[in-house]
């Protein structure tokens, strides 16, 4: 590919969200007739890069050139017009419409001003065939298709737009192995046809099999580009990890022989998202959940918290089987569970309500007598929490939405600590908050554990798992694939097991850690 004129170039692209920099002077060039893989950890800037390319977000600075002339996209439609099509994960399919309707949705064929159903059918069949999904009936409703088929429709829909650059963002994450093989065939053929393909995936083996060129992103920057196959998995992982800052984690206490199990799961299964998960969390223990995003970690926490229906298997608290049918049962004193949910803005807080109202919201029964709130008691508990977590707020009666992300997250945690829970489930609590607050949360977690709480902690940041956890369970496809204990918890081991690299890659590391 050397010497080939790039079809598309990005230079010096930067993008900030609030105080967080997502991209910092990132560069990328894409050549026609090649498959370009992009690698990086969660939050390395890959998805922002794609959004910029696809016209979903505008960059703060930098320039993009297509065929040598400068371009900018005001909307996804504008990017499509220029021939850049991105496959989002099932977001853009309309469930109640048929496959054919969806494939032609942005520009249906018309006859006498009305949609030409015959032509539409033809286009859809062609596109499905090109995507290697000719088995999907064009008249089927999208909502009736399983996730993997929807993903194929999504690909067909992209192809129907006749792209010059096709971006696949984790497009294979929901696919079965057979589908992946088919897609690869399709992608290779598209490469032959002269398309430029941009491929983002966490699956290393896929990249090795498919890509011509690889670029690694880290902290919003492209740190390395190399021809596929010229580096070993191990080297690639090193490139992805190399960190510029390190968190300060509280020291872990020496591991006791066996902590008293407080929370226990036996063979928990739920739809196709959880697969025979068994685990124990002991008093005073911080147990991490690792793995790629979306491997069932979130569902596991919801399962404990009584949100999921049709759960099979057993949940035990203090060694006794319990049936938890709702969050209200989970927070009951006999169980004493708390969940710091994934999205603090929609699940943790009522943003327009005041800091005060949010802080006492989960503990209203604790501060009330006969349903009437005892303001003095409420005030005392709130003051305790504000002090304990050092929540910085201009007052208790301002909307909680006015606080910084970090302080909002503290409010979410505080509202649960007010109940003095014995079991604390945390769903990626440090996402999108500043480093200082993160450190405070690490200290707090350890403090709670030392006071006897059982903590189950899911994080997308491997560093945190290493720094905070006594044990880490790595999930893949809804099942616990590996348990890492103590010194075994290394970046290498975490990433390797998260990517489900079998045999040699995982084996030696186990030895290394032990």
Of the residues 4, 243, 326, 451, which one makes contact with other proteins according to CB under 8 A:
326
| 403 makes contact with other proteins (CB under 8 A) | no
Cα angle, residue 305 at apex, residues 254 and 353 outer, rounded to 5°: 105
| 73 makes contact with other proteins (CB under 8 A) | no
User: What separation in angstroms does the CA of 13 have from each of 28, 49, 143, 248, 477?
Assistant: 9, 8, 38, 30, 34
| 309 makes contact with other proteins (CB under 8 A) | yes
Of the residues 12, 68, 253, 352, which one makes contact with other proteins according to CB under 8 A:
352
Residue 37 Cβ vs other proteins, minimum distance, rounded to whole Å: 24
When the beta carbons of 333 and 512 are compared against other proteins, the nearer one is 333
Contact yes or no for 509/490 (Cβ under 8 A): yes
Per-residue binder mask for other proteins (CB under 8 A), 195-234, x = binder:
----------------------------------------
# residues near other proteins by CB under 8 A: 63
| 312 makes contact with other proteins (CB under 8 A) | no
When the beta carbons of 59 and 348 are compared against other proteins, the nearer one is 348
Report the phi/psi class of residue 5: left, alpha or beta, with left for phi > 0 and alpha for psi in -120 to 50.
Answer: beta
Contacts of 298 (CB under 8 A, 6+ apart): 342, 427, 458
> Any idea what DSSP says for residue 411?
H
Of the residues 18, 69, 91, 394, which one makes contact with other proteins according to CB under 8 A:
91
Of the residues 18, 251, 254, 371, which one makes contact with other proteins according to CB under 8 A:
371
| 114 makes contact with other proteins (CB under 8 A) | yes
Per-residue binder mask for other proteins (CB under 8 A), 447-486, x = binder:
----------------------------------------
| 348 makes contact with other proteins (CB under 8 A) | yes
**Pairwise CA distance, residues 177 & 236, whole Å:** 24
Residue 347 Cβ vs other proteins, minimum distance, rounded to whole Å: 5
Cβ-in-10-Å burial (0-12, 13-18, 19+) of 148 comes to middle
Of the residues 25, 62, 65, 105, which one makes contact with other proteins according to CB under 8 A:
105
| 420 makes contact with other proteins (CB under 8 A) | no
**Pairwise CA distance, residues 378 & 367, whole Å:** 5
| 88 makes contact with other proteins (CB under 8 A) | yes
When the beta carbons of 199 and 305 are compared against other proteins, the nearer one is 305
> Of 23-31, 313-321, 342-350, 495-503, which part binds other proteins (CB under 8 A)?
342-350
Of the residues 26, 239, 277, 330, which one makes contact with other proteins according to CB under 8 A:
330
| 305 makes contact with other proteins (CB under 8 A) | yes
Of the residues 72, 75, 176, 205, which one makes contact with other proteins according to CB under 8 A:
75
CB atoms within 10 A of CB 336: 19
| 72 makes contact with other proteins (CB under 8 A) | no
Q: Are strands 312-317 and 471-476 parallel, antiparallel or unpaired?
A: unpaired
CA atoms within 13 A on the CB side of 207: 30
Q: How far apart are the first and last CA of the chain?
A: 44
| 134 makes contact with other proteins (CB under 8 A) | no
- Here the contacts of 510-514 (C-beta below 8 Å, separation 24 or greater) are 513/484, 513/486, 513/487, 513/488, 513/489, 514/487, 514/488
Residue 366 Cβ vs other proteins, minimum distance, rounded to whole Å: 10
**Pairwise CA distance, residues 478 & 29, whole Å:** 36
Closest CA to 354 of 401, 387, 412: 401
**Pairwise CA distance, residues 485 & 88, whole Å:** 36
CB atoms within 10 A of CB 395: 9
Q: Which residues bind other proteins (CB under 8 A)?
A: 75-77, 80, 88, 91-98, 101-102, 105-106, 108, 110, 113-115, 117, 137, 139-141, 270-271, 299, 302, 305, 307-310, 326-328, 330-331, 339, 341, 346-353, 357, 360-362, 364-365, 368, 371-373, 375, 415
């Amino acid at each position: 590919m050397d010497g080939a004129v790039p079809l598309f170039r990005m230079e010096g692209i930067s993008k900030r969200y609030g105080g967080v920099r997502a991209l910092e002077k990132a560069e990328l060039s894409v050549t026609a007739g090649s498959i370009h893989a992009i690698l990086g950890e969660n939050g390395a800037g890959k998805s922002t890069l794609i959004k910029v390319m696809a016209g979903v977000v505008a960059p703060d600075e930098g320039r993009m050139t297509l065929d040598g002339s400068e371009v900018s996209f005001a909307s996804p439609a504008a990017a499509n017009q220029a021939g850049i099509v991105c496959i989002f994960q099932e977001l853009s399919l309309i469930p109640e419409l048929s496959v054919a309707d969806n494939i032609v949705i942005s520009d249906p064929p018309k006859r006498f001003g009305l949609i030409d159903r015959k032509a539409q059918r033809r286009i859809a069949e062609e596109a499905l065939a090109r995507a290697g999904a000719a088995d999907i009936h064009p008249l089927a409703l999208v909502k009736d298709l399983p996730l993997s088929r929807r993903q194929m429709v999504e690909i067909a829909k992209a192809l129907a737009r006749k792209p010059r650059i096709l971006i696949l963002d984790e497009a294979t994450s929901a696919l079965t192995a057979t589908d992946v093989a088919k897609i690869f065939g399709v992608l290779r053929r598209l490469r032959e046809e002269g398309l430029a393909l941009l491929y983002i995936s966490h699956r290393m083996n896929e990249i090795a099999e498919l890509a011509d060129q690889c670029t690694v992103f880290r902290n919003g920057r492209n740190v390395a580009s190399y021809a596929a196959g010229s580096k070993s998995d191990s080297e690639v992982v090193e490139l992805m990890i190399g960190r510029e800052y390190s968190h300060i984690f509280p020291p872990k206490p020496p591991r006791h022989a066996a902590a008293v199990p407080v929370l226990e799961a036996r063979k928990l299964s739920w739809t196709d998202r959880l697969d025979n998960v068994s685990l124990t969390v002991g008093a005073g223990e911080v147990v991490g959940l690792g793995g790629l995003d979306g491997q069932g970690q979130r569902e596991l926490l919801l399962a404990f918290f009584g949100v999921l229906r049709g759960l099979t298997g057993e949940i035990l608290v203090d060694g006794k089987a319990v049936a938890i049918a709702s969050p209200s049962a989970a927070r009951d004193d006999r169980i004493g569970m708390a969940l710091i949910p994934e999205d603090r803005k929609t699940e943790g807080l009522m943003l327009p309500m005041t800091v005060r109202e949010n802080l006492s919201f989960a503990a209203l029964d604790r501060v009330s007598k006969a349903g009437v709130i005892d303001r003095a008691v409420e005030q005392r508990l709130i003051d305790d929490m504000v002090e304990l977590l050092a929540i910085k707020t201009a007052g208790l009666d301002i909307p909680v939405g006015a606080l910084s992300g970090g302080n909002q997250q503290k409010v979410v945690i505080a509202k649960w600590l007010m109940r003095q829970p014995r079991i604390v489930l945390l769903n990626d609590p440090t996402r999108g908050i500043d480093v200082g607050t993160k450190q405070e949360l690490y200290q707090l977690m350890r403090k709670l554990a030392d006071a006897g709480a059982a903590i189950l902690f899911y994080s997308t940041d491997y560093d945190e798992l290493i720094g905070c956890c006594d044990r880490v369970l790595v999930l893949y496809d809804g099942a616990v694939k590996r348990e890492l204990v103590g010194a075994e918890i290394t970046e290498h081991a975490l990433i390797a097991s998260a990517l489900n690299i079998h045999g040699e890659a995982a084996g030696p590391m186990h030895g290394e850690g032990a």
